[in-house]
Structure 1
Amino acid sequence: MSVRARLRAVVPALLPSAKADVPELLGLPGRRLLAQRADDALVLQPLDDAFAPAGDRVRVPAPWPRRRGAWAVAPDASLAVFAGVHAVRAVEPSGRTRWEVRHGCWYGACRELHRSYEEYGDRPDHRYPERGSAGFSVDGAHVWAHVRGPLAVGGSADELAPHVVDEWLLLDPADGRLLARADAGAAAAGSFHLPHPADPGQMGLSIGEGQDGAPLRWGRWDGRTLSVAYVEGDLALTGVSPSGERLMTVTHDQDALAVRDTAGAVVDGLEWDAEAAVPRHPEADPENDEALPYWDWAGGFLDETTLICSTVEGDEEWGQGRHWLLDTAGTRTPEEVVYPVPVGTWPPTATLGDGGWVTPADSGEALYVWERG
C-alpha cells in the first residue's frame, strides 16, 4: 500500500547552504519560526500558518562556531540559548549576553572549567568534543539544559553527588537562575530536547552515547520539584504527540519503532519491528542479510494517531530512501509515501501536529512542507 504526498509549501532557506546548517522549522501552528545556524549567528524568520514570512527577520550573534554545540530559541524569538563545550549562554538579538552558566568541559579527557571559548577553541585535542543541548518549554518560561558536570558555581538547587557525569538543569530564562538539577544518568556524546506541546512543566531528553546506548529521560517540574522518569531501554525519542501523552521512539539498534506513554510503556501493542513491518527495498539483494530494512532515528506525529517515519539510512545503499505513514488507530500497517518529485536523502520531520511533515531540498536551499494527498 502507498499514500500520495501533496506539496503544501516551499520555504526558502535564510542563508546559503555552504555557510550554514540545514534550516529547521520550529514552533506550534500560529507560532512558527524558520531557523538556520551559521558560524557567526542564528538567523530566525517568523512564519504564518501558510509558511510565508510574517514579520522581521531576527539575527542573534553566536558566541562560538556551529560545530561546537547546540542551540535553542524562545518561541517569540526574543532569546537564543547556545549550549557549548564549556557553558550554556543566553544571547539577545542585540548581541547582549543575558546570562551564562559554566559547566564541565564536554571534551572527555579535560577536567578544566574553562572561562571562555578562546581558552580551547584552537586546541587540537578539543576539536571534536561531545556535546549537550538546551530546550525551551512550550511557553518559553523555562530553559532545560543538558550539561557535563560539575557546574562552575554549584551550591544551589540541591548539590548532586560528586560521581555524577551529566546533569539536567532547569533554568530561569530571565536571569539564568538555577531552579533545579538532576542526574541525567548518562555519559553523553550528544543529546536533544523535545518539549511537551501543551504542558510547560514537561520536557523530553533524548541522549546518545555513541555505540554504548541511547538513554531517554522525561522530566516534570511542578514549580518546586523536578522529577525525572528514567525510561528503560536504549531508545531515541523522535516525536511527542499533540496531546503530549504519547512518545514516538526508535530503539538504539534501529530495529523497533514504538508509541509509548511518558513513563516509557508501549501503548496498546503499538510497536513495529522493521524487518517484519517493512518490505526490503525493491532493488536490494534478497539473499543479503545486510539488506534488511531498519528505522531511522527520525519522524514524528502528524496528529494524535498518525506517524511519519522512514528507512532512509538502510535504503541508501540500494536506491531511493523510503518514507512511511503509520495510522495507529487504523490498519497499523506502514504505507509508503509517494512524492511527486524526488525528496533526496533526508528523513522527514513532523510539523507538530497539523498533519504536515518536512523534507529538506538536497541543495539545502529550501524546506518542502508536505501533507497527505
Structure 2
Amino acid sequence: MSVSVRPVRARPLDSVPLSGAASLVRGAALEIRRDAPHRALLLHGDDLEVHDLEDLFAGESAPSAVFPMPWPDWGRGGASVSPDGTFAVFSGQRAVRAVDTDGTTLWEHRHTCWGSPLGHPHTGDERQVCNGYEHGSCRVSDDGRFVWAHVLAPGQEYEEVWSVLDARDGRELARLPLDDSSASGSHHLSHPDGVHMGLCIGMGQDGILLYWARWDGERPTLWGLDGTLDRILMDVPPAHGGFLTVEHYGADLRLHALDGTVLAEQDAYTWDYGGGFVDAGTLIAGTGVVHPEEEGVRHWLLDAATLEVRGPVAYPSGAVGGPARPLGDGTWLTYDEEGGTLHRWSAAEG
C-alpha cells in the first residue's frame, strides 16, 4: 500500500566536511542526552574522539575530549561518555571498562567472554580479543550515576544479563536476567524522562528482543515487548513517554506506550531502520536504503501521534543517498558519503 501526498521542502541549515562520520546517521555514534549537548563519538585510529555537534557545525574541528581505546583490535560493542565528559565506558568481549582521557582505567567489570566457542581458553593477554563477532553494549545514565551493560554473567554457563553498575567504581548494583536472549549484538537507548532505559538485542535469524527498565531508587524493574521477536527499537520522543519501533523486515512502523501498547501504526511503505523524532510532533523515516524494493532512497515526514504520512522530503540538491538522523529539536542530519559531508536540515515553512 502507498499514499499520495505532497512533498515537504527541506531547508539546509548547516554542513561540515567530516570524513568517516557515516556512523552519526547509521549507528550509535551520536549520543543524545536530556538537557545536554548532542555529542558525536568518532573513532580515529585507536582513539575515541568526542565532539560537541554544535561546535562541529561552527567550524571547531578539535575534539572536546579524546579517550584511548582500551582494546584497539576490538571495534564492536560501542562506547558511552559520561554527561560531564570526564570518562568513557567501553563494551569489550570480556569486560566493561571505564577510562579517563589519559587512558587510565578507572574500573573494570569482568564478565564471561562473548567470543566463541563458550569456555574457550584465554592466554591472559591484555588485548582481550578472541574469535567471534557477538557483543553486548553499555550506556551511562543521563544523570551520570549508573552504567547499564548488556553482558554475559561470569560463570561456565551461557547466561546473558542486563547489569546495572555504579558509575563511580563499576560495582554491580543489580543484575536482570535475559533468559530468552542469544545475542549477535545490542544497543541501548535512554529515555528523555531520565528514568527509563531501553535495550534492543539482535539475534540474527532468531529475531529481536526489546526490553525497558527503570531504576526506582533502590532496584531496577524490567519488562519486555510481549509476544514479538521482530521489532527494532528506533527512537524515543523528546518530551513525552513512549517509543518508536520498526518491524524487522520493514513491514510497518509502530508507536508504543512505554508498557508496549501500540498507539499507532503505519504500513504504507517498506521502511528502513533509520529515523525517529524530529520534534515532539513530527517523525522522519526512510525507504530504499535497506529495502531496495522501494524505488530510490526517500525520506518521509510523519505525524508523531498518528503516524500519518505528511509527505516525502524534497531536498534542494535532489536525492539523498542514506538515512536521516533526527535530533529532536526540529532538525535532522544526513551524510554524503561520497563527499564526506555532514548536513543538517529542517522542514521549510509554508
TM-score band by shorter chain is: 0.7 to 0.9
State which of 52, 57, 62 in structure 2 corresponds to 1:46.
Answer: 52
Identity percentage of aligned residues? 38
SS in 1 for 2:182: coil
Residues 1:299 and 2:278 aligned together: no
Q: Which residue of 2 aligns with 1:75?
A: 83
State which of 53, 63, 70 in structure 2 corresponds to 1:63.
Answer: 70
Residues 1:92 and 2:100 aligned together: yes
Q: Which residue of 2 aligns with 1:157?
A: none
Q: Which residue of 2 aligns with 1:249?
A: 245
Tell me how far 1:324 sits from its aligned partner. 1.0
Partners of 2:80 and 2:140 within 8 A in 1? yes
Tell me the distance in 2 between the aligned counterparts of 1:361 and 1:86. 36
Tell me the distance in 1 between the aligned counterparts of 2:141 and 2:240. 13
Q: Which residue of 1 aligns with 2:299?
A: 323
Tell me the distance in 2 between the aligned counterparts of 1:262 and 1:318. 31
Question: How many pairs are equivalent?
Answer: 333
* Deviation readout 1:178-232 (Å, 9 max, x if unpaired): 1111012311101100001132x31000110011111000011112111111112
Partners of 1:21 and 1:37 within 8 A in 2? no
Flag the 1:56–1:238 CA change in 2: closer, same or farther, 3 A.
closer
Q: Which residue of 1 aligns with 2:204?
A: 210
Q: Which residue of 1 aligns with 2:332?
A: 357
Tell me the distance in 2 between the aligned counterparts of 1:164 and 1:219. 22
AA at the equivalent of 2:84 = D
SS in 2 for 1:211: helix
AA at the equivalent of 1:188 = A
Tell me how far 1:307 sits from its aligned partner. 1.0
Q: Which residue of 2 aligns with 1:224?
A: 218
More strand by share: 2
Larger RCO, structures 1/2 (Cα 8 Å, 6+ apart): 2
Q: How does 1:237-316 map to 2 (within 5 A)?
A: 237-267=233-263, 270-273=264-267, 277-278=268-269, 294-314=270-290, 316=292
AA at the equivalent of 1:241 = P
Tell me the distance in 2 between the aligned counterparts of 1:113 and 1:141. 34
SS in 2 for 1:302: strand
* Deviation readout 1:142-182 (Å, 9 max, x if unpaired): 1111112226xxxxxxxxxx866211011111111111110
Tell me the distance in 2 between the aligned counterparts of 1:165 and 1:241. 32
Partners of 1:27 and 1:75 within 8 A in 2? no
Tell me how far 1:25 sits from its aligned partner. 3.3
Q: Which residue of 1 aligns with 2:150?
A: 146
SS in 2 for 1:299: strand
Q: Which residue of 2 aligns with 1:26?
A: 31
Tell me the distance in 2 between the aligned counterparts of 1:223 and 1:364. 48
Residues 1:8 and 2:13 aligned together: yes
Tell me the distance in 2 between the aligned counterparts of 1:86 and 1:348. 33
TM-score by length of 2: 0.86
Flag the 1:113–1:105 CA change in 2: closer, same or farther, 3 A.
farther
Unpaired stretches in structure 2, ≥5 consecutive residues: 1-5
Tell me how far 1:330 sits from its aligned partner. 6.7
Flag the 1:66–1:39 CA change in 2: closer, same or farther, 3 A.
farther
Partners of 1:47 and 1:55 within 8 A in 2? no
Moved more, 130-139 or 104-113: 104-113
Tell me the distance in 2 between the aligned counterparts of 1:85 and 1:67. 10
AA at the equivalent of 2:82 = A
Partners of 2:265 and 2:306 within 8 A in 1? no
AA at the equivalent of 2:69 = A
Q: Which residue of 2 aligns with 1:290?
A: none
* Deviation readout 1:293-349 (Å, 9 max, x if unpaired): x21122111122311111133554675311111114478125211112256432112
AA at the equivalent of 2:103 = G
State which of 92, 110, 115 in structure 2 corresponds to 1:102.
Answer: 110
SS in 2 for 1:45: strand
Q: Which residue of 2 aligns with 1:368?
A: 343
SS in 1 for 2:289: helix
Unpaired stretches in structure 1, ≥5 consecutive residues: 152-161, 279-293
Residues 1:339 and 2:315 aligned together: yes
